[in-house]
């Protein structure tokens, strides 16, 4: 049996009303004048400083917006697409919708217009709150949203009707009674990025958001009065719910790898930021910038990074940038279940775990969060409607990671087939199949070995991407590698393993060097039983990556590309 369970911190009472927006109101009562949101790249109305709202102002402004939205037909249960740039308005609108008991629908615009419109259509929205560009896109596809009855534009309104957010705010009162929602009431629908399949709308309940706030605050010891710089917009909501001041960074959240590190470092230093969250693509750039300039960040206690395994060299960099009591943390989870586990950079470096990862053990993602149960089950692509004890693998064996707990979502929105494929029922309990392969070590730590959909079944064995790629990533001229499978021609689902290599900048091999580079890589592979059978190597200048973190490799696209190159 490979089940690990820990007890949750400060569990909420199961049978009371619960609205996640009540946490904002509580912070406004406790510290009304504390800054809640600061936008350094935008000026306040008088031009005397950056735009900002205190906790009292954020609470009152979200009240005004909620009251005004009710006046334009957005009320409890109304499914509302929100497409606003991170900042004051985004946070105010989301908390207003929570207070109404409406259901904000959040979709990453970086997925492209076609997929975004498909997601909106699937979610059957009744209201749409967005910037002018989003309204233009909506208007051109308006026939696909027949239930839409309320339009609010954040900014200048043109010929598409509806109200502006300024009009909504002027029509609302600062005194507003939040809806008496319950822990099981739907709070929001958050779409996955679709990095390993079509995007899916994940149904979040108020109790799930509340549990996330409690767990994250307790585990990382986050305290009211700290300062956060969230490079992922949703984390501004968590921080404000904890009484933490949020500095909204000047960057495009849809393209974190394009961030300008000097601007992030400027704000980290200027506002004495104590905590920050972002993808590995961000911290790789910011870390390299700090090392080049000899910059340390003496007030930064914790850097949280998630979305893909973070290179060990980046962890080493950040240990040199942070103060002695600071650390880089790598929480692991998914949109459907966040957080699952977490581990500190210090434990990875000093506990010998990096060395094990570099030799092909996978990526250690730490022990489960208190309150979460994690099991490892046999790998299968078929639905598992009901839990059976014989699903679990033996201790230490590889299998699919499944999780259960207060932060685990129950279903996908309007996608019963996806729900059936990813959820397992055990009485009243729901187990979510994350779709990742992993195992537990002897110390109860979870190791991530790759996506289940990315495994490469060969004649000899089943290969897992993260384990195999680590062997080849040791080459000094490699930036990253991707193991993919191409049709083997023998049937039975067997594939031919191919290594795709993205060299470091300026190291793309040509002519004779390409053959030498390939020989060196294959020599590395021959040192391990798992990689000895990988005999084909291709080179790619820039891997396709996911839209949210710019760090997850799109191995599906690389597999198609590799098959075409080898055919």
Confidence bin at 552 (pLDDT 50/70/90): confident
In the chain, the domains with their CATH numbers are: 18-209 (3.40.50.12780), 455-566 (3.30.300.30)
Per-residue pLDDT of 267-280, as tens digits, reads: 999 999 999 999 99
- Output the pLDDT for position 13: 46
Q: Which of 240, 238, 225 is nearest to 274 (CA)?
A: 225
Estimate to the nearest angstrom the gap between the alpha carbon of 493 and the chain centroid: 31
- Given a cut of 90, is residue 550 above it in pLDDT? no
- At residue 8 the predicted structure's pLDDT band, cuts being 50, 70 and 90, is low
Average pLDDT, the chain: 95
Q: Helix (H, G, I), strand (E, B), or coil: what is residue 497?
A: strand
pLDDT digits (tens, 9 = 90+) for 227-274: 999 998 889 999 999 999 999 999 988 888 889 999 999 999 999 999
88-128 pLDDT per residue, tens: 999 999 999 999 999 999 998 888 899 999 999 999 999 99
Question: What's the confidence (pLDDT) of residue 410?
Answer: 98
* 3-state class (DSSP) for residue 395: coil
Write down the pLDDT at residue 29: 98
**Farthest-apart Cα atoms in the chain, separation:** 73
Render 196-237 in DSSP notation, one character per residue: TSS--EEEEEHHHHHHHHHHHHHHTT--TT-EEEESSTHHHH
pLDDT at residue 179 tops 80: yes
More confident: 387 or 10:
387
Query: For residue 180, which phi and psi values (nearest 5 degrees)?
Result: -85, 70
Please tell me whether the peptide bond between 153 and the residue prior to it is cis, using omega within 30 degrees of 0: no
Q: Residue 7: its pLDDT value, please? A: 54
Residue 466: its pLDDT value, please? 98
Question: Per residue in 489-511, pLDDT tens?
Answer: 777 789 999 999 999 999 999 99
Q: Please, which pLDDT band fits residue 291 given cuts at 50, 70 and 90?
A: very high
Overall pTM surpassing 0.85 (yes/no): yes
User: What gap in Å lies between CA 513 and CA 526, rounded to an integer?
Assistant: 20
Q: What's the distance, CA 97 to chain centroid?
A: 22
- Looking at the DSSP bridge assignments, the partners of residue 483 are 499
Residues forming a β-bridge with 127: 80, 150
- Supply the pLDDT for residue 18: 97
**CA 136/CA 124 separation, integer angstroms:** 18
Q: Is the pLDDT reported for residue 50 higher than 90?
A: yes
């Amino acid at each position: 049996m490979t089940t690990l369970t820990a007890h949750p911190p400060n569990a909420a009472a199961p049978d009371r009303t619960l609205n996640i927006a009540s946490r904002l109101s509580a912070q406004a009562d406790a510290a009304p004048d504390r800054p809640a949101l600061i936008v350094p790249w935008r000026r306040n109305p008088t031009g005397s400083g950056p735009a900002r709202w205190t906790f009292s102002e954020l609470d009152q402004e979200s009240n005004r917006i909620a009251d005004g939205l009710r006046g334009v037909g957005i009320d409890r249960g109304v499914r509302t697409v929100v497409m606003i740039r991170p900042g004051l308005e985004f946070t105010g609108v989301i908390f207003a919708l929570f207070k109404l008991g409406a259901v904000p629908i959040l979709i990453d615009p970086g997925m492209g217009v076609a997929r975004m419109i498909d997601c909106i259509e699937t979610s059957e929205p009744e209201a749409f709150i967005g910037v002018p560009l989003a309204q233009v896109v909506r208007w051109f596809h308006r026939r696909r949203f027949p239930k839409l009855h309320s339009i609010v534009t954040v900014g200048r309104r043109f010929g598409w009707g509806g109200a502006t957010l300024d009009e909504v705010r002027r029509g609302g009162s600062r005194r507003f009674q939040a809806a008496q929602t319950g822990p099981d009431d739907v709070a929001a629908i958050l779409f996955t990025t679709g990095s390993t399949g079509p995007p899916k709308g994940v149904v979040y309940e108020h109790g799930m958001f509340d549990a996330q706030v409690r767990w994250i605050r307790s585990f990382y010891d986050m305290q009211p009065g700290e300062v956060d710089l969230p490079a992922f917009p949703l984390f501004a909501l968590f921080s404000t719910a904890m009484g933490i001041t949020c500095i909204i960074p000047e960057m495009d959240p849809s393209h974190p790898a394009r961030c300008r590190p000097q601007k992030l470092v400027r704000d980290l230093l200027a506002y004495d930021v104590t905590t920050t969250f972002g993808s590995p693509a961000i911290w790789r750039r910011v870390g390299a910038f700090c090392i080049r300039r000899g910059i340390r960040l003496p007030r930064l206690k914790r850097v949280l990074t998630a979305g893909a395994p973070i290179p060990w060299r980046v962890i080493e960099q950040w240990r040199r940038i942070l103060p002695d009591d600071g650390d880089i943390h790598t929480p692991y989870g998914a949109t459907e279940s966040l957080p699952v586990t977490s581990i500190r950079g210090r434990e990875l470096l000093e506990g010998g775990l990096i060395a094990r990862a570099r030799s092909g053990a996978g990526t250690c993602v730490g022990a489960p969060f208190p309150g979460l149960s994690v099991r490892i089950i046999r790998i299968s692509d078929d639905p598992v409607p009901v839990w059976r004890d014989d699903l679990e693998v033996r201790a230490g064996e590889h299998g699919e990671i499944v999780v259960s707990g207060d932060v685990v979502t129950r279903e996908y929105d309007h996608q019963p087939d996806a729900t059936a494929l990813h959820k397992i029922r055990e009485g009243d309990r729901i187990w979510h199949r994350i779709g990742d392969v992993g195992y537990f070590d002897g110390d109860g730590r979870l190791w991530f070995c790759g996506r289940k959909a990315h495994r490469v079944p060969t004649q000899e064995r089943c290969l897992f991407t993260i384990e195999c790629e680590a062997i080849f990533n040791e080459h000094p001229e490699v930036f990253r590698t991707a193991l993919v499978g191409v049709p083997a021609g023998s049937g039975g689902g067997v594939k031919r393993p191919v290594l795709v290599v993205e060299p470091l900048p300026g190291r793309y091999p040509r002519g004779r060097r390409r053959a030498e580079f390939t020989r060196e890589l294959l020599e590395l592979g021959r040192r391990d039983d798992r990689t000895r059978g990988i005999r084909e190597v291709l080179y790619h200048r820039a891997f396709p990556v996911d839209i949210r973190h710019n760090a997850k490799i799109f191995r599906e696209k690389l597999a198609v590309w590799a098959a075409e190159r080898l055919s």
